[in-house]
């Protein structure tokens, strides 16, 4: 009996010791895994903090452009990064010289002046811009239209003095609006207006083209992470900031100050986004405010309950064009467009009576969006 008791006691002790040994080994293994994980996170944090980052600013197209550029390696020279930004902005100035309607010697001004009487020869950049403008005109069924200039003048936006046009004047002006009145000859590289009084205006797409050009130049220099801001309305996220999945961008109500909380927050990575609203420029007629975004199909300032429209796509030109079009189209037409084009993300800030709502289209992952 004593021997049995002693053998049982020894067996119990051996079992307990085995449990202690296994438990100790598991703790040790867990501590090693945790240590390695922490080391990886810490190394990434150190690497992120040590990468040089510079900010380069420039004024063009009546817009404050800003580049936030990260180096790829800790030893990258910040001054070299700044020089990349300064060199890139030279191309934006050249683009403005071509497409600005406010410069009398620009190609856009020459087109507006002469294209109603004879075909005007185009540079390759201008031909590309007109081809893209025509494409978005057809894709949005006329909601985006660079020929809206005569209507802007009729309502007084160019003079910043609002005038309520008569219905007769409105209908007469609409005869000179519509991209289908433009004849583009890609082989001859010419443009011709089939209606007198037509004018093109690249204000709804020019910043996007400028940002696309900046992104291409920086990419060719080997830059992998940068945020390109064309004012606060058009942004390109080149890659992502170190240690992040993308660039976080706040969408604010156009009626509130910069200090107020955003109505939505999105993340972009190798994408462009643009936001259009009617509060940036407006006129007042008989104590009523009219925003500067006109519906080219009716000739009237847009009034469909959309407060702001944000488009997120792959290029700055497309985001610029679509945000303007989405503002004009309204909720149901935007929903139909996004159902047809799943690669296009959109955020609409809309109002109905006293209520406001944020609507998301083609955001498959809830983590991609954050309403406020």
- 245-372: which CATH architecture? Roll (3.10)
For the domain covering 102-193, report its CATH number. 1.10.3980.10
Kindly list the strands in the beta sheet with 225-230, ordered across the sheet, starting from the edge strand earlier in the chain: 53-60, 63-70, 225-230, 234-238, 271-277, 306-313, 345-352, 355-361
The bridge status of strand 120-121 relative to strand 369-371 is unpaired
Phi, psi of 135 (to 5 degrees): -60, -45
Please state, in angstroms and as integers, the Cα–Cα distance from residue 93 to each residue in 129, 230, 345, following that order. 16, 13, 30
The residue among 312, 310, 302, 293 whose CA lies nearest residue 252 is 310
Per-residue pLDDT of the chain (372 residues; tens, 9 = 90+): 444 433 443 444 554 554 444 444 544 443 433 333 333 333 333 445 689 999 999 999 999 999 999 999 999 999 999 999 999 999 999 999 999 999 999 999 999 999 999 999 999 989 999 999 999 999 999 999 999 999 999 988 877 777 889 999 999 999 999 999 999 999 999 999 999 999 999 988 999 999 999 999 999 999 999 999 999 999 999 999 999 999 999 998 887 656 677 899 999 999 999 999 976 666 777 767 777 899 999 999 998 999 999 999 999 999 999 999 999 999 999 999 999 999 999 999 999 888 899 999 999 864 455 544
β-partners of residue 273 are: 235, 312
As a whole number of angstroms, the distance between CA 194 and CA 180 comes to 9
What is the predicted pLDDT for the residue at 104?
A: 95
Q: How many other C-beta atoms lie within 10 A of the C-beta of residue 356?
A: 14
Q: How many other C-beta atoms lie within 10 A of the C-beta of residue 103?
A: 13
As a whole number of angstroms, the distance between CA 173 and CA 185 comes to 25
Three-class SS state of 218: helix
Only one residue has tokens 């910040």, namely: 78
What is the predicted pLDDT for the residue at 286?
A: 72
Task: Give ranges for CATH 3.10.520.10 in the chain.
Answer: 245-372
What is the predicted pLDDT for the residue at 25?
A: 52
- Within 8 A by CB and 6+ apart from 10, the residues are none
End-to-end, the C-alpha distance of the chain in Å comes to 76
What is the predicted pLDDT for the residue at 161?
A: 75
Phi, psi of 74 (to 5 degrees): -60, -30
Task: Give ranges for CATH 1.10.3980.10 in the chain.
Answer: 102-193
- Within 8 A by CB and 6+ apart from 195, the residues are 116, 175, 176, 181
Provide DSSP, 131-168. Answer: HHHHHHHHHTTTSS-TT-HHHHHHHTTTTT------HH
Q: How many other C-beta atoms lie within 10 A of the C-beta of residue 247?
A: 24
What is the predicted pLDDT for the residue at 257?
A: 58
């Amino acid at each position: 009996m004593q021997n049995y008791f002693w053998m049982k006691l020894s067996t119990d002790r051996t079992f307990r010791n085995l449990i202690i040994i296994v438990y100790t080994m598991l703790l040790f293994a867990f501590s090693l895994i945790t240590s390695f994980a922490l080391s990886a996170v810490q190394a990434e944090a150190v690497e992120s903090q040590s990468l040089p980052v510079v900010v380069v600013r420039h004024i063009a197209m009546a817009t404050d452009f800003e580049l936030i550029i990260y180096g790829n390696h800790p030893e990258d020279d910040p001054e070299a990064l700044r020089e990349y930004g300064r060199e890139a902005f030279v191309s934006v100035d050249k683009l403005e010289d071509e497409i600005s309607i406010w410069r009398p010697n620009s190609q856009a001004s020459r087109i507006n002046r002469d294209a109603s009487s004879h075909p005007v020869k185009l540079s390759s950049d201008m031909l590309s811009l007109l081809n893209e403008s025509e494409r978005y005109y057809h894709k949005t069924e006329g909601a985006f239209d660079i020929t809206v200039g005569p209507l802007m003048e009729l309502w007084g936006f160019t003079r910043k003095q609002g005038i309520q046009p008569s219905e007769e004047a409105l209908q007469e002006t609409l005869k000179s609006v519509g991209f289908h009145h433009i004849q583009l000859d890609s082989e001859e590289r010419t443009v011709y207006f089939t209606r007198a009084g037509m004018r093109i205006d690249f204000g709804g797409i020019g910043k996007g083209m400028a940002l696309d050009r900046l992104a291409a130049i920086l990419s060719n220099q080997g830059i992998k992470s940068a945020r390109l801001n064309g004012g606060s309305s058009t942004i390109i996220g080149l890659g992502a900031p170190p240690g992040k999945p993308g660039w976080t961008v706040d969408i604010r109500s156009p009626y509130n100050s910069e200090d107020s909380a955003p109505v939505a927050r999105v993340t972009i990575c190798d994408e462009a986004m643009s936001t259009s609203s009617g509060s940036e420029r407006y006129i007042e007629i008989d104590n009523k405010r009219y925003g500067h975004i006109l519906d080219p199909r009716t000739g009237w300032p847009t009034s469909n309950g959309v407060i702001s429209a944000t488009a997120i796509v792959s290029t700055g030109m497309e985001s610029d064009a679509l945000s303007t079009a989405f503002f004009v189209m309204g909720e149901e037409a935007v929903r139909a467009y996004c159902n047809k084009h799943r690669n296009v993300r959109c955020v609409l800030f809309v109002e109905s009576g006293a209520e406001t709502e944020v609507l998301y289209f083609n955001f498959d992952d809830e983590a991609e969006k954050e309403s406020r």
